[in-house]
């Protein structure tokens, strides 16, 4: 099976997601060890600013990567469901949980470590799913035959259309009963 080369911007976003996840996981593990008393602090506290900066950078990287992933999948006729996975969903829940809990507890830092690890696993799973989906047999994008995930809207001509047209919304043209119901409701509201 040939391997598809994903766009450079996507690969940069993917690597930044991996590196920032690893950095946040390492930072959180160090903070958990200090809070638990396993490691001795050298008098200098690990700055809270670094924790916040890593978290913000990770979230930004995650959003950029998710948007680029969505663009790639939709450009090839698919939906985001192609790359959704349990690890990304679990990481989202754990990150939200770590934000809600007080930060002076080592459990919060361990939750962030687990979330970072799940993000890395989720990024690898998503990459594998994109690769296998793009190399799966099927019509190429733009060949006139949409992939199975594409939603088609019915049209008046009987030929499915990927985009709704203004005449598709004219209920009176394709169903007189609906038009009569619309008119009946209009007259009821004006009384």
Buried-state track 29-38, b at ≥16 Cβ within 10 A, e below 16: bbbbbbbeee
For the chain, the C-alpha Rg in angstroms (whole number) is 25
Label residue 53 by pLDDT band (50, 70, 90): confident
Provide the 10 A C-beta neighbour count for residue 155: 15
Tell me: the pLDDT tens digits for 151-183?
A: 444 445 555 555 666 666 666 666 777 778 888
Tell me, yes or no, if the pTM score tops 0.75.
no
Distances (CA, A) of 49 to 25, 45, 54, 80: 16, 11, 8, 34
Domain positions in the chain are 8-135, 152-191
Separation of alpha carbons 15 and 25, rounded Å: 15
């Amino acid at each position: 099976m040939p391997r598809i080369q994903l766009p450079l911007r996507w690969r940069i976003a993917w690597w930044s997601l991996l590196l920032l996840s690893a950095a946040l996981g390492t930072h959180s593990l160090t903070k958990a060890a200090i809070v638990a008393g396993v490691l001795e602090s050298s008098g200098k506290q690990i700055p809270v600013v670094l924790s916040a900066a890593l978290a913000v950078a990770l979230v930004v990287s995650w959003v950029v990567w998710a948007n680029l992933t969505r663009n790639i999948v939709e450009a090839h006729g698919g939906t985001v469901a192609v790359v959704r996975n349990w690890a990304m969903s679990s990481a989202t829940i754990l990150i939200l949980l770590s934000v809600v809990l007080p930060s002076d507890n080592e459990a919060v830092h361990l939750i962030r470590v687990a979330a970072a690890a799940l993000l890395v696993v989720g990024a690898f799973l998503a990459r594998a799913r994109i690769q296998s989906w793009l190399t799966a047999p099927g019509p190429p994008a733009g060949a006139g035959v949409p992939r199975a995930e594409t939603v088609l809207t019915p049209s008046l001509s009987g030929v499915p259309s990927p985009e709704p047209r203004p005449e598709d919304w004219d209920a009176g043209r394709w169903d007189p009963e609906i038009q009569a119901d619309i008119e009946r409701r209009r007259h009821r509201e004006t009384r």
